[in-house]
Amino acid sequence: MLVSAEQMLIKAREGKYAVGQFNINNLEWTKAILTTAQELNSPVILGVSEGAGKYMGGYETVVGMVNGMIKSMNITVPVALHLDHGSYEHALKVIEAGFSSVMFDGSHYAIEENVEKTMEIVRIAKEKGLSVEAEVGSIGGEEDGVIGTGEVADPQECAKIAGLGVTMLAAGIGNIHGKYPANWQGLNFDVLAKIQAVTNNIPLVLHGGTGIPEDMIKQAISLGVAKINVNTECQLVFAEATRKYIEAGKDLTGKGFDPRKLLQPGYEAIKATVKEKMELFGSVNQA
Ligand code: G3H
Ligand code: ZN
């Protein structure tokens, strides 16, 4: 059964570890992430962007696939199904479709409008028992059509949004979606510490988890980060493993063209990446 992310994140914040949000694109992604979470006895959050939701045939299809897999594969660790960087309209859609968690990303609005819309989503989502993530400031780079300026969050605005009853708060602290450029300045821990000080122990969310060095991940967790989002890294390792398989001509021998064989190396690569992240984030054996 899907669960809200609330309890797993409160527990993570108290226990000084983070739960990984891994974005899904299809059945292989979902199965790789759920299987790894179960093997490692770790809670997990499946992230679905609006684009990935559309690609998979709509939010109802995603809910059906994830619920079916949890049941058929006997997944007993806590799993939350979460809309990633959702618009107001799509936040309402996933609440109806049966997601257990939702991000309303109002970071591109002026703070007053972000407050107003976040409040409305909190009211509707909480009635149905979903957890809610809000965002302040902006994550740099681009993810699935969502482009961010990279503006560092204002702690006072964070305090305002955190006070609306959201479950978790994402803040721009120099983090970027996609690969980090060579001249990246790193995460802004001074701002993160200020945000932590004024947001009443709310679990904080670190987006752009691909390629953040280990020491920065650990420091972020020590400053209240309880959820870390990873997307691009799984895509990169999947693409690399699939390319190697094809370049080695394995699809040309025997039944190597069978999609269940062709997609296997990419599936295993996602599993290895998810395992590595869960170990780094400290969520292993926390289910
Ligand atoms: O919302 C999803 C994440 O922020 C993923 O970021 O693609 O850089 O890992 P990433
Ligand atoms: Zn993100």
Q: Output DSSP code: residue 234.
A: H
- As a whole-number percent, the residues of the chain with pLDDT over 90 amount to 95
Q: Is 208 annotated as a binding residue?
A: yes
With cut-offs at 50, 70 and 90, classify the pLDDT of residue 193: very high
Q: Which atom of ligand 1 is nearest to the CA of 230?
A: 9
Backbone φ/ψ region at 150: left (φ over 0), alpha (ψ -120 to 50), beta: left
Could you give phi then psi for residue 138, rounded to 5 degrees? Answer: -150, 145
Pocket of ligand 1 contains residue 84 by CB under 6 Å = yes
Q: Output DSSP code: residue 152.
A: P
Give the span between the Cα atoms of 172 and 208, in whole angstroms.
Answer: 10
Q: Is 232 annotated as a binding residue?
A: yes
Dihedral angle of Cα 234, 236, 240, 241, to the nearest 10 degrees: 0
Element (DSSP H or E) covering residue 206:
strand 204-206
With cut-offs at 50, 70 and 90, classify the pLDDT of residue 146: confident
Q: Is 207 annotated as a binding residue?
A: yes
Inform me whether the pLDDT recorded for 188 exceeds 90: yes
Catalytic residue, from 84, 144, 154, 215: name it.
Answer: 84
With cut-offs at 50, 70 and 90, classify the pLDDT of residue 123: very high
Give the span between the Cα atoms of 106 and 164, in whole angstroms.
Answer: 13
Q: Which atom of ligand 1 is nearest to the CA of 210?
A: 9
Q: Is 129 annotated as a binding residue?
A: no
Inform me whether the pLDDT recorded for 140 exceeds 90: no
Inform me whether the pLDDT recorded for 149 exceeds 90: no
Inform me whether the pLDDT recorded for 67 exceeds 90: yes
Pocket of ligand 1 contains residue 230 by CB under 6 Å = yes
Q: Where along the chain do its domains lie?
A: 6-281
Q: What is the structure's pLDDT at 273?
A: 98
Give the span between the Cα atoms of 18 and 12, in whole angstroms.
Answer: 6
Q: How many CB atoms lie within 10 A of CB 129?
A: 11
**pTM exceeding the 0.95 threshold for the entire prediction:** yes
Q: Output DSSP code: residue 133.
A: E
* Per-position DSSP letters for 134-145, written without gaps between them: EEES--BEEETT
CB within 5 A of ion ligand 2: which residues? 207
Q: What is the structure's pLDDT at 221?
A: 98
Inform me whether the pLDDT recorded for 281 exceeds 90: yes
Inform me whether the pLDDT recorded for 74 exceeds 90: yes
Pocket of ligand 1 contains residue 107 by CB under 6 Å = no
- The stretch 78-93 carries a mean pLDDT of 98
Inform me whether the pLDDT recorded for 143 exceeds 90: no
The mean of the pLDDT values for the chain is 97
pLDDT tens-digit readout, 22-44 = 999 999 999 999 999 999 999 99
Give the span between the Cα atoms of 78 and 11, in whole angstroms.
Answer: 12
Which is the CATH superfamily of the domain at 6-281? Aldolase class I (3.20.20.70)
CA of 243 to the centre of ligand 2 (A): 26
Inform me whether the pLDDT recorded for 285 exceeds 90: yes
Q: Which atom of ligand 1 is nearest to the CA of 84?
A: 1
Count CA atoms within 13 Å of residue 123 on its CB side.
7
Inform me whether the pLDDT recorded for 144 exceeds 90: no
Q: Which long-range contacts (CB under 8 A, 24 or more apart) does 91-94 make?
A: 91/121, 91/125, 92/121, 92/124, 93/59, 94/48, 94/53, 94/59
Task: Choose the weakest-confidence range: 101-115, 136-150, 167-181.
Answer: 136-150
- The stretch 50-70 carries a mean pLDDT of 98
Q: Which residue has the higher pLDDT, 234 or 1?
A: 234
**Residue 84 is a catalytic residue:** yes
Q: Which ligand is nearest to the CA of 51?
A: 1
Element (DSSP H or E) covering residue 19:
strand 19-23
Q: Which atom of ligand 1 is nearest to the CA of 103?
A: 1
Pocket of ligand 1 contains residue 208 by CB under 6 Å = yes
Q: What is the structure's pLDDT at 16?
A: 98
Inform me whether the pLDDT recorded for 98 exceeds 90: yes
- The stretch 92-106 carries a mean pLDDT of 98
Q: Output DSSP code: residue 59.
A: H
Pocket of ligand 1 contains residue 282 by CB under 6 Å = no
For residue 190, the one-letter residue type is D
Q: Which ligand is nearest to the CA of 231?
A: 1
